Amino acid sequence: MDYLPLFFDLKQRPVLLVGGGDVALRKARLLIRAGAHITLIAHRVLPELQEMLELHQGQVLVGEYHPELLDDKVLALAATDDDVLNERVHYDAVARNVPVNVVDNPRLCTFVFPAIVDRSPIVIGISSGGQSPVLARLLRAKLETLIPSGYSRLGQLVGRFRDQVKARFGTVNERRVFWESVLQGQVAERVFAGRDADAEALLDEQIRAGNASHQTGEVYLVGAGPGDPELLTFKALRLMQQADVVLYDRLVSPEVLDLCRRDADLIYVGKQRDNHAVPQEGINQLLIDHARQGKRVVRLKGGDPFIFGRGGEELEQLKQAGIPFQVVPGITAASACSTYAGIPLTHRDYAQSVKFVTGQLKHRTTELNYAELIQPNQTIVFYMGLHTLNQLCSGLVAHGKPADTPAAIVSRGTAQDQRVLVGTLETLPQLQAQAQLPAPAIVIVGEVVALQSQLSWFGEESSPVIHDR
């Protein structure tokens, strides 16, 4: 271990900062966040830096550095481009036993600044000992995605109730078990959802009850997006990695499913045309039963759960059963697949509105309001439209949409084997009869489709495009 990680309390304590440029500005911001009283010495000081220090009761001295400035200081920083001056600050500080950091010069540092993930009171520091600051910053970025900002409010909440928990539970082990249950349960999730008052009330209730381990579980309705795991939201990933049970659809890609917690129970409840692994009523009951057992349940749906995902139906049942739930939106297929195919859904020259339509309605009917769909300057996206493609195209033409209107099928959008079929309302059914692109797929109708050949960008070699234009 090259450096011992320590956390330094600088609140109301004097620190010397040598330098007045951009680097000094960055360090001053960090020191002010820690509550330090800064004395700055430099020949020239950035106006922004001077204003910042004056606002936070700092002292700005314009002139020459001298060793006496280190008197009574608890920390010193040299942030100049003058190597001789930086060395002077180092040796003067060491002689006075003042910890010193010379920016970008580990040899002259008795301490180094880590890359910081700040969720105060939770603070995480990552250091490479000055060997690779870029690597430390990259690791910090990874942690930032895994630790939501709500952990700051959660830490503050826990701090307010520490004494009550200590008084309620007599042993260290009892307190540990209690806090583990709280921090992995509904109290934490309510904080993350921005429901701080509810979280505080629930925590108070659990303390008075003396037990947090027998609470009803919770259901997380999570949009898994179109298949590319990099399109998941941070919140979706966090909930997937803490779920006890995952109920997942056919449209959830293996790559996304692989990101779930390793020891979670994975239950397939997917639906194919005329082949439902578990009926919808059974899915609803599974969600309720597992939650009543105190489990955290993720209902993982392809795309977005509120866009042709029957998410509303499932939540109605959870609400009636008194099961708490959260909804995490996902990138819906219309947005993701059109983007990966190079087809903008709106464009000032072609379309000022877009409609999302299911090509397969309840009870297998396809009665659509064609009068709405044939309006000009509009893009139409059909979900689940492959099996009714002939009826959709002929219906649009029969109701007045020009037969040469550009139309496309995007099959397995965002996946490495994505394929795009481009034609017109007149030619697309025949092209699909020959190509037999598989589901899942969306159908896009509108003048914006004509831009596909210009704007295509994703996997052009492995994702062939078939044109009839």
Place of tokens 């070699």: 461
Do the annotations mark residue 32 as ligand-binding? no
Do the annotations mark residue 332 as ligand-binding? yes
Helices (H) and strands (E) in the chain, counts: 17, 20
Q: Rounded mean pLDDT of the chain?
A: 91
What pLDDT score was predicted for residue 184?
A: 82
User: Dmax of the chain from CA atoms?
Assistant: 90
Do the annotations mark residue 288 as ligand-binding? no
What pLDDT score was predicted for residue 463?
A: 47
pLDDT at 468 over 70: no
Of 201, 202, 209, 203, nearest to 168 (Cα)? 209
CA distance 110 to 117: 22
CA distance 279 to 377: 40
| 63 Rama class: left (phi>0) / alpha (psi -120 to 50) / beta | left
Do the annotations mark residue 387 as ligand-binding? no
Is 452 buried (19+), middle (13-18) or exposed (0-12) by CB count in 10 A? buried
- How much is the average pLDDT of 310-314? 92
**pLDDT tens digit sequence for 118-140:** 999 999 999 988 888 899 999 99
CA distance 207 to 280: 38
Confidence band of 462 (pLDDT split at 50, 70, 90): very low
Start-end of H helices in 186-295? 186-192, 196-209, 234-240, 254-257, 280-292
Give backbone dihedrals phi and psi of 67, rounded to 5 degrees, phi first. Answer: -55, -30
pLDDT at 460 over 80: no
- How much is the average pLDDT of 235-241? 92
Instruction: Compare 185 and 7 and report the one with higher pLDDT.
Output: 7
- How much is the average pLDDT of 363-371? 71
- How much is the average pLDDT of 239-253? 93
Confidence band of 107 (pLDDT split at 50, 70, 90): very high
- How much is the average pLDDT of 4-28? 95
Long-range own/partner contacts, residues 368-374 (CB < 8 A, 24 or more apart): 368/392, 368/395, 370/395, 370/396, 370/398, 370/399, 371/399, 373/399, 373/401, 374/399, 374/400, 374/401
Do the annotations mark residue 22 as ligand-binding? yes
What pLDDT score was predicted for residue 174?
A: 87
What pLDDT score was predicted for residue 215?
A: 66
Q: Which amino acid would we find at residue 79? A: A
What pLDDT score was predicted for residue 211?
A: 65
What pLDDT score was predicted for residue 273?
A: 58
**pLDDT tens digit sequence for 251-295:** 999 999 999 998 999 999 986 655 556 888 999 999 999 999 989
What pLDDT score was predicted for residue 233?
A: 93
Do the annotations mark residue 226 as ligand-binding? yes
**Which H or E run contains 122?**
strand 122-126
Place of tokens 């966040």: 33
Do the annotations mark residue 19 as ligand-binding? no
**pLDDT tens digit sequence for 143-152:** 888 888 899 9
Interstrand relation of 296-301 and 218-223 (parallel, antiparallel or unpaired): parallel
SS3 content of the chain, % helix, strand, coil (to 5): 40, 20, 40
Do the annotations mark residue 409 as ligand-binding? no
- Distance between first and last Cα of the chain: 65
CA distance 469 to 448: 13
Do the annotations mark residue 296 as ligand-binding? no
DSSP 108: G
CA distance 226 to 256: 10
Start-end of H helices in 147-222? 150-168, 172-183, 186-192, 196-209
Please indicate, yes or no, whether the overall pTM of this predicted structure exceeds 0.75: no
- The 10 Å Cβ neighbour count of residue 67 is 13
What pLDDT score was predicted for residue 180?
A: 83
Do the annotations mark residue 419 as ligand-binding? no
Is 61 buried (19+), middle (13-18) or exposed (0-12) by CB count in 10 A? middle
CA distance 228 to 307: 18
CA distance 89 to 42: 13
pLDDT at 369 over 70: yes
CA dihedral 98, 103, 106, 108 (to 10 degrees): -40
- How much is the average pLDDT of 230-244? 92
Residues belonging to the active site: 249, 271
Is 187 buried (19+), middle (13-18) or exposed (0-12) by CB count in 10 A? buried
- How much is the average pLDDT of 27-40? 96
Q: Which amino acid would we find at residue 124? A: I
